[in-house]
Amino acid sequence: MKKKIVTIAISVILVLLVTSAAIVIASEDRTAPIITLDIPIGNSVIYSSGEDKGELIRYVKAVDDIDGDVSNSIKIEDVYPTTDLSTVNVIYIARDKSNNIAKISYVFNYIASKQEIENQAKINQNAANAADSANAANISATNGTSTKSQESANIATVAPSNPVISLAQSEVTITQGDIFNVVQYIKDITDDKDTRSSLFTRIFASGYDASKVGDFPMDIYCTDTDGNSSNIVKFILHVKAKKAEAPTTAPITAPITAPIQAPVQTEAPILPTEKPTVIQTTQPTV
């Protein structure tokens, strides 16, 4: 009898422990905050090389579903310009009190320093020379192969000291005039010496024009700080035309007219020596 009571008591305790654990797990906050960029109309964010990064947080907010506003936790994880030095990618992170971390990237206009422009020009020249050599070798070695096998062959022929680049997708469709940033379609870049962030500033892509309708086949590659060129990956940018906007016309409204009131009859004053004369105005014809 005592054993039965002890068994029941243990069972009850186990059930209570399991239930308590389930309640604790269910009540845990596992949702990361949401980071948003709120720039007032008429303002624009332009970041200059060497400028205080605090300006890049000015219009960024982070809100958590439980902790509320956690904007004071926002930090900049990385800042790297695009290859043409016209824009800069800024990666923000924010966390709530439960240590859930959110991460997002925004692109801003960028003003590069003179030194950056000169360095980029040298890199471009070295990359162009390396690309010419790599293209010649790839064409002779992989002539007649498919795009997929071409990419595999390119990666296979890259020397161990050269960076290796891969894509998250091989084509994308945008609307004419949309902002196109090839960086967001890069899956990964690796190198024996350079960091990933450093390599992302040395990505090159063949000519395209997002303002024109058409299909733009692109060769994408990168170079490291030693001037070594990566494999070349193929990418196709499809630019579709904007939809024509329907003309808007002002609604037709009836003219507003003042109500017509009948004139009031007036009488001339009666003189003692004359008969009273009544002067009556007539209602105007509408």
| 114-240 CATH, one of 2.60.40.10, 2.60.34.10, 3.80.10.10, 1.10.40.30 | 2.60.40.10
Asked if residue 91 lies in contact with residue 104, where contact means CB atoms within 8 angstroms, the answer is yes
Alpha-carbon torsion (81, 83, 87, 90), positive or negative: negative
Half-sphere exposure of 168 (CA within 13 A, CB side): 8
Strand, coil or helix: what is 140?
A: helix
Please give the backbone phi and psi of residue 150, each rounded to the nearest 5 degrees, phi first. Answer: -60, -45
Query: Each residue of 230-241: pLDDT tens digit?
Result: 898 999 989 998
Query: Each residue of 202-258: pLDDT tens digit?
Result: 788 776 777 788 898 888 888 888 878 889 899 998 999 887 665 555 554 444 444
Q: Report domain extents, the chain.
A: 34-111, 114-240
Q: SS3 breakdown of the chain: % helix, strand, coil, rounded to 5?
A: 30, 25, 45
Rounded-to-integer distance, Cα 193 and Cα 224, Å: 8
CATH number of 34-111: 2.60.40.10
Asked if residue 209 lies in contact with residue 216, where contact means CB atoms within 8 angstroms, the answer is yes
pTM: 0.42
Rounded-to-integer distance, Cα 37 and Cα 105, Å: 10
Which residues have CB under 8 Å from 115's CB, separation 6+?
none
Rounded-to-integer distance, Cα 118 and Cα 112, Å: 10
Provide the pLDDT for residue 23. Answer: 61
Provide the pLDDT for residue 25. Answer: 54
Provide the pLDDT for residue 245. Answer: 61
Asked if residue 87 lies in contact with residue 105, where contact means CB atoms within 8 angstroms, the answer is no
